[in-house]
Every structure is written in structure tokens, then in C-alpha cells.
Structure 1
Amino acid sequence: MKNFKLTLIMLLGIMGFVKTSIAQIQPNGLYLSFNDYRQHKLSYANNGKGNKIVIHDFLQQKNITVTTDGTKQVFAKNSIYGYRNNSHDYRLLGNKGYQIIDTVGFYIYSSDVLSQEGKGLKPVKTDFFSTKGDGEIMPLTQDNIAKAFVKNHKFRYLVQAEFKSDRDMDEYDNGVKEYKIKELYIDSNK
């Protein structure tokens, strides 16, 4: 009898976990504006009932195709703030999608950039940033940080002291689960 109760309790716990996990899965969709993104308001959400969103990332094409109830609509990428795909948010700028990585203090993005590797081009993960969620997106370099945060002397000096090269600027501190550059930014505002 004890084994039966224990098994029943474990089964109910697992069912509750699965139900919670499924409920936490968010649909794919479009953020028509920055305000929609801040409010997590998706338009044209892909609810799995034959609706489909195609971003056309290949060669940075200019349009997004949305199929809703059998009707196709085409949107220019430059008229949309961003989109959600597979539980990740992306911002669109210049027909290119930038994955939104972190939004505390300023925004950090990631995107693949084609780079010459050996005999051909290879996509390389590259980090970018903007001072605001709807601001200019720039490569995450010491020079760009210095230009963007010209009035925050302490932050600029901390960045120069901490990072030996631009390649180091995407370091992640697993202990505090935060990018080191974000830690420096928070420290500079104390």
C-alpha cells in the first residue's frame, strides 16, 4: 500500500511538471513594434493550427511571410521590430535577425556573420549591443562601448581594464550567471 501511494504521488508530481512545462512554451510570432516586444505581445502567433511564419533568413531577404488560416501575408522586415522563434526573441534591423541575449542596462545581441575560414565562408557567432532596445545596433567592441557610453567614464575604464581584446568581451560569469560586461556596467552605476 505504501508503494502504491508513493508511486501515485510521484506520478501526480510528474504530470504537474509536464503540464507546467507545456504551459511555459510560448508560440512563435511577430513583434510589430518595440512596445509590443516590451509587453511580450505577439502578433500573428503561430499556434500550431496550420499557421506558419517564414522569416526568410537566407541571404537576408527583405520579407517575412505569414500564413494564417490559409491566407498569406507578406511583411517587409524593416516595418517589424522583431520576432519570437523557438523560445528566443530576435530583433530585426537591416533585413537581419539579431537574437536578444540580455536586456539589463543595455541590450546584447548575437548573430551569425559570414567570415573567411580556410577556403570558404563560415558563419561565426558575433556579439552586438545597443544602448536602448530600439537603438542603433553596433558590434560589441571596446571602441563602440567607449563611443556609446561617453558620459559613463567609470564603465569605459572598467571595460578597458578588464578586456584585453574585443574577442574577450562576450565572457560569461557562470558564478553569477551574467555577462562580465554587464557586471562592469552595474558596478559603474553604483
Structure 2
Amino acid sequence: MKNSIKVLIAAMVICVQGTRLQAQSTNKTTGIYITEQDFKTGKLSYTLGAGDKLLLNEFLNGKNITIISQGQKTKLAKSQMFGYCQNGQSYRFYRGEAYCVLDTAGFILYSCEQLIPQGKGLKPVEKYFYSVNITAPVLSLTMANIDESFAGETGFRYSVNSLFEQDGNLVTYDKANRQYMIKYLYQEYKHNAAAQHAAL
């Protein structure tokens, strides 16, 4: 019972701190993407200015976000919007959780901080996810999921399986090329497939 209370308190502290940071760090590049098309075109609704606040209400998987603009509160259901942009960084809502959009070339790569049991409490750990397109389900970035999602793209799957030994390596970032290696493999696969098709 005591451990359960400690876990609950730890989760509350983390969420409160996150909400404070989000409330304080808004600028003109903060707003809401209502639809997938809005995200693709960079169109923001409810754009926030200085002094405005965006509250994500993440504690206990809150179903709404709250926008405080010029003293007025507006509540929006997470299920009714694609996501949001905060300080130039885009996020997608999926099943009530916000996923940070890392890369959109070819398929979408995300990260999400999740609380993982460790020792006697919970520790926030960054996990990685993907979706095959902007409307597809968000899945854990694992070798098994990549094999299933890209079953028809054999060259890409073979490249992934030969280069990466385990799930944790799938998010390897090449600083010299400023690119995730899995994205490079996918782009190479698409380029080679297009070249072969053109040669036929």
C-alpha cells in the first residue's frame, strides 16, 4: 500500500512539473493541429501568444487539453484533434497520449516519455514509436513490428535485419548526416526500387 502511494505521488510530481514547463514555454509557434491535413501544411489553430498557456492535462490520461488565451479558457478533446505544436516541435495525439514527431520522411518516427517501474518507484524513460503514415496506428519501434508493417518491402526489411541487432538500435542517429539510420535505409530502398522500376 505504501509503495502504491509513493508511486502515485511520484507520478503526480512529474506531471505537475511537466504542466508547469508547458504553461511557461509558449510562444507564437505554439498552437493546435485540428486535422492531419493541418499538420501536413503546418496550419495551426488557437495560436498562442505571450502570456497564453497550453495545458495538456496528462495526469491520469486526461482526455482534454486546456488553452488559456487572453484570460479565456477553451477545452478541446484530444480525440477530436491531430495534435499540437509547441515552440516549433510537433506532437501527435494517439489514444490520449502525446507523441513527439521526430521525423516524417517515408514514415513517421516518434518518441514518448513513459513512466517505467524501477526499484521502488517509477522512472521516466524515452521510448520510440513509428507509424507507416500520418493516419496509421502508432506502434512500438521493434524489429518484429517493422517486419510486419513493411512485409511487402523486402529490401528494406532485409537491410534493417542485417544492420540492427536488437530493437534498441533501431533509433540510431547518424550525427554526420543528421539522419536516423533506419530512415536512410528506407530512403535508399525507395530510391533503388524506383530506379529498378524505371529501368523496366
Tell me the TM-score range normalised by the shorter chain: 0.7 to 0.9
Q: Distance between the aligned counterparts of 1:102 and 1:58, measured in 2?
A: 27
Q: Distance between the aligned counterparts of 1:80 and 1:155, measured in 2?
A: 32
Deviation at 1:86, TM superposition (A): 2.3
Q: Distance between the aligned counterparts of 2:52 and 2:135, measured in 1?
A: 28
Q: Distance between the aligned counterparts of 1:99 and 1:135, measured in 2?
A: 15
1:45 alignment counterpart: 47
Gaps of 5+ in 1: 1-24
Answer yes or no: is the 8 Å Cα contact 2:28–2:49 preserved in 1: no
Letter in 2 for 1:162: L
Q: Distance between the aligned counterparts of 2:89 and 2:171, measured in 1?
A: 18
TM-score (normalizing by structure 1): 0.83
2:196 alignment counterpart: none
Letter in 2 for 1:178: Q
Q: CA deviation digits over 1:17-51, x for unaligned, max 9? A: xxxxxxxx752110000111111111101111x43
> Are residues 1:99 and 2:104 paired?
no
Letter in 2 for 1:98: Y
Kindly report which structure 2 residues correspond to 1:1-190, keeping only aligned pairs within 5 A, or say none.
Answer: 26-48=28-50, 50-189=51-190, 190=192
The RMSD of aligned alpha carbons is: 1.3
Deviation at 1:70, TM superposition (A): 2.4
Q: CA deviation digits over 1:71-90, x for unaligned, max 9? A: 22211111110001122100
Between structure 1 and structure 2, the one with the greater Rg is 1
Q: Distance between the aligned counterparts of 1:82 and 1:90, measured in 2?
A: 5
TM-score (normalizing by structure 2): 0.79
Q: Distance between the aligned counterparts of 1:39 and 1:106, measured in 2?
A: 17
Deviation at 1:69, TM superposition (A): 2.9
Deviation at 1:59, TM superposition (A): 2.9
Deviation at 1:92, TM superposition (A): 0.4
Letter in 1 for 2:154: H
Letter in 2 for 1:39: T
Q: Distance between the aligned counterparts of 2:119 and 2:181, measured in 1?
A: 31
Counting aligned pairs with the same residue, the percent is 36
SS in 1 for 2:37: helix
Deviates more, 1:130-139 or 1:51-60: 51-60
Q: CA deviation digits over 1:89-130, x for unaligned, max 9? A: 000011100000000000000001221222211111000000
SS in 1 for 2:90: strand
Q: Distance between the aligned counterparts of 1:59 and 1:45, measured in 2?
A: 26
Deviation at 1:135, TM superposition (A): 1.1
Q: After TM superposition, where is structure 1 displaced by more than 6 Å over at least 4 residues in a row? A: none
Q: Distance between the aligned counterparts of 2:172 and 2:28, measured in 1?
A: 28
Answer yes or no: is the 8 Å Cα contact 2:141–2:167 preserved in 1: yes
